[in-house]
Amino acid sequence: SQLAEENLWALSVHEGESVTVNCSYKTSITALQWYRQKSGEGPAQLILIRSNEREKRNGRLRATLDTSSQSSSLSITATRCEDTAVYFCATDAWGGRALIFGTGTTVSVSP
């Protein structure tokens, strides 16, 4: 079974709206990372949030981390069409020697 999982397969919003992707994980972590993968590209990191942090922001992105419930969320405000992508959460495994990705949530932003 996956060590990290996003809770929904897909979300659709209109430009300007906000969207939140949720993730749950199963192991203790040093950090949780959010990645975005656009069609035809490799994943690109958006936010890294460490286990001692509860919230992290990067422009229109906000990530939260709740280690007690082993969950995280990524919120995107004022969405744009170019935010259309698959969003993954990823946790460290084997002492940080690898990233374990969730199955991803496809976010579609329409005009």
Partner 1 sequence: DPKIIQKPKYLVAVTGSEKILICEQYLGHNAMYWYRQSAKKPLEFMFSYSYQKLMDNQTASSRFQPQSSKKNHLDLQITALKPDDSATYFCASSQERQGGTEVFFGKGTRLTVV
d(CA 89, CA 33) in angstroms, rounded, equals: 6
Residue selected from 25, 34, 56, 104 as contacting partner 1 according to rule CB under 8 A: 104
Q: DSSP letter string over 37-101?
A: E-TTS--EEEEEEETT-SEEEETTEEEEEETTTTEEEEEE-S--GGG-EEEEEEEEETTTTEEEE
Which range touches partner 1 (CB under 8 A), out of 15-23, 29-37, 57-65, 77-85?
Answer: 29-37
Q: In the bound complex, what is the minimum distance in angstroms from residue 84's beta carbon to partner 1?
A: 18
d(CA 36, CA 42) in angstroms, rounded, equals: 8
Asked if 30 is part of the footprint of partner 1 (rule: CB under 8 A), the reply reads yes
Which range touches partner 1 (CB under 8 A), out of 8-16, 17-25, 39-47, 64-72?
Answer: 39-47
Which range touches partner 1 (CB under 8 A), out of 13-21, 23-31, 57-65, 72-80?
Answer: 23-31
Nearer to partner 1, 72 or 79 (CB): 72
